[in-house]
Amino acid sequence: MTSDVLVLGAGIVGVSTALHLLERGRSVVLFDRAEPGSGTSYGNAGLIERSSVIPYSFPRDPMALLRYALNGQSDVRYSPSFLPKAASFLWQYWRNSAAAPLEVATRAMLPLVQACIPEHDRLVARAGAEHLIRADGWVALYKTTARFNAAVAEAGRLAPFGLQYRVLTPQEFIALEPAYRPGLSTIAGAIHWQDPKTVTDPQGLVKAYADLFAANGGQMARGDAATLTEIAGGWQVTGADGATITAREAVVALGPQSGLVFRKAGYRIPLGIKRGYHRHYTQTDGAMPRLSVVDEESGYVLAPMRQGLRITTGIEFADPAAPANDIQIRRDEVEARRLLDLGPPVEKTPWLGLRPCLPDMRPIIGPAPRHKGLWFHFGHAHHGLTLGPASGRLLSEMMTGETPFVDPAPYAATRFA
């Protein structure tokens, strides 16, 4: 098999890139060890997060740091034995979360965030995947008046970004979402963010995009990306069937596993991993909420999905290869049961996913600095589902010599090389 481009990784980032390259007349092979969307893209909360204009930063407030250090919270927990290994990443992340660099990261990410809905809309329409998309935003829920008031003030400070939102009293929230317990003493208020869209089956969406790719002449192949080698005039991998696949250019879109290629090629890129979990719960008729709700004080999401009501957890810093620890999902389940009637869990054990994160809160999108024809496309962290299509457009414009719709400079790999 020979093609112009070999895209390694069929998550939301790789599939979107492959589609954009195909649209620009390139022959493309999409290469993965498993079926499309079975990595991190399988299990996210399904938010196409148009309202997340400030990147997810490391807390700087000493009281918050102390709370996290005590390790009793559900939104972020850590495995003490992993901290020494994560120290360098955490230090860089903490430094980049100061006001000035956070402002730089916000400005850098904004054009991609602004493009997330139109870029998904276009692919959704082409893929006929409208049935997987809801266009009614998501709700941030607050359980204490202090946190609610602070959040309303913070939302006001985001006015320059022109986001659409509605502040809701507990009664207004219940009117919107009757599946939650009425007469609550547990809800102080809510903010309904109206610009975002949500996906009821994130892997289903990746598969729909992959089907569109295949229907338009894109080729798919299975195998291990660790077989990637540089050859005269291009790149080569070996498929699971032993066949050789060659291409002039290769894109590394392996999400959390991207290190297996860039490390071998000699790049020292501080790709960190934030682990996260999900589990589905069977809801009876009438008990399934309509909207995705984020319990902002406990840091989990309740997302109505095809498989049931999906609880997705916050962050766990632990060795990516360590066994799953269900403590966060158990804590979140207790909190969620206070808010609504939660049915029995669908799965025996929670799903574990790995968010690929860079410490300056932006992905790498662009050429590998010292290897001709090798391109890097990873590190989309908390917002890979959101950003995949916009980011895929940007990389394919760079690869085909078009004028990029966004200045690619902030995403260059050279910032670490």
Ligand X SMILES: Cc1cc2nc3c(=O)[nH]c(=O)nc-3n(C[C@H](O)[C@H](O)[C@H](O)COP(=O)(O)OP(=O)(O)OC[C@H]3O[C@@H](n4cnc5c(N)ncnc54)[C@H](O)[C@@H]3O)c2cc1C
C-beta closer to ligand X: residue 117 or 187: 117
Rounded to whole angstroms, the Cα distance separating 227 from 160 reads 48
- Contact with ligand X (CB under 6 A) among 4, 5, 6, 9: 9
C-beta closer to ligand X: residue 179 or 254: 254
* Cα–Cα distance list, 14 to 79, 147, 368, 391 (Å): 31, 38, 16, 10
- Contact with ligand X (CB under 6 A) among 1, 214, 226, 346: 226
Interface with ligand X, residue 14, by CB under 6 A:
yes
Q: Decide if 203 contacts 42 (C-beta within 8 A).
A: yes
Rounded to whole angstroms, the Cα distance separating 220 from 194 reads 36
Centre a 10 Å sphere on the Cβ of residue 65 and count the other Cβ atoms it contains. Answer: 13
- Contact with ligand X (CB under 6 A) among 55, 289, 373, 384: 384
Q: In the beta sheet, which residues pair with residue 48?
A: 197
Smallest distance from the beta carbon of 188 to ligand X, in angstroms?
24
Binding mask 277-306 for ligand X (x = CB under 6 A): -x----------------------------
Interface with ligand X, residue 47, by CB under 6 A:
yes
Q: Decide if 265 contacts 368 (C-beta within 8 A).
A: yes
Q: With contacts defined by CB under 6 A, name the span among 171-179, 221-229, 391-399, 409-417 that binds ligand X.
A: 221-229
Q: What are phi and psi of 32, to 5 degrees?
A: -150, 155
Rounded to whole angstroms, the Cα distance separating 180 from 176 reads 9
For residues 110, 165, 48 and 269, what is the CA-based torsion angle, rounded to 10 degrees? 40
- Contact with ligand X (CB under 6 A) among 50, 77, 380, 393: 380
Interface with ligand X, residue 255, by CB under 6 A:
yes
C-beta closer to ligand X: residue 41 or 174: 41
Interface with ligand X, residue 189, by CB under 6 A:
no
The residue behind tokens 């895209």 is 7
C-beta closer to ligand X: residue 51 or 312: 312
Rounded to whole angstroms, the Cα distance separating 56 from 289 reads 26
C-beta closer to ligand X: residue 373 or 384: 384
Interface with ligand X, residue 378, by CB under 6 A:
yes
Q: Which of 41, 85, 408 has the alpha carbon at shortest distance from 270?
A: 85
Identify the three-state secondary structure at position 26.
coil
Tell me the helix, strand and coil percentages in the chain, rounded to 5.
40, 25, 35
Q: With contacts defined by CB under 6 A, name the span among 34-42, 57-65, 74-82, 281-289 that binds ligand X.
A: 34-42
The residue length of the chain stands at 417
Quote the distance between the C-alpha of residue 86 and its chain's center. 20
C-beta closer to ligand X: residue 207 or 278: 278
- Contact with ligand X (CB under 6 A) among 3, 17, 44, 51: 44
Smallest distance from the beta carbon of 61 to ligand X, in angstroms?
24
Helix axes 202-215, 12-23, angle to 10 degrees: 30
- Contact with ligand X (CB under 6 A) among 33, 85, 147, 181: 33
- Contact with ligand X (CB under 6 A) among 137, 218, 289, 353: 353
Interface with ligand X, residue 254, by CB under 6 A:
yes
Interface with ligand X, residue 10, by CB under 6 A:
yes
Interface with ligand X, residue 41, by CB under 6 A:
yes
Q: With contacts defined by CB under 6 A, name the span among 46-54, 283-291, 318-326, 406-414 that binds ligand X.
A: 46-54
Centre a 10 Å sphere on the Cβ of residue 92 and count the other Cβ atoms it contains. Answer: 17
Residue type, 232: A
Query: 285 — alpha (psi -120 to 50), left (phi > 0) or beta?
Result: beta
Interface with ligand X, residue 74, by CB under 6 A:
no
Q: Decide if 326 contacts 350 (C-beta within 8 A).
A: yes
Q: In the beta sheet, which residues pair with residue 300?
A: 295
Smallest distance from the beta carbon of 113 to ligand X, in angstroms?
10
Q: Decide if 261 contacts 8 (C-beta within 8 A).
A: yes
Q: With contacts defined by CB under 6 A, name the span among 167-175, 238-246, 375-383, 399-407 that binds ligand X.
A: 375-383
Smallest distance from the beta carbon of 169 to ligand X, in angstroms?
26
C-beta closer to ligand X: residue 234 or 384: 384
- Contact with ligand X (CB under 6 A) among 11, 189, 373, 389: 11
Q: Which residues are near ligand X by CB under 6 A?
A: 9-14, 32-34, 38-41, 43-47, 49, 224-226, 253-257, 260, 276, 278, 312, 353, 355-356, 378, 380-386
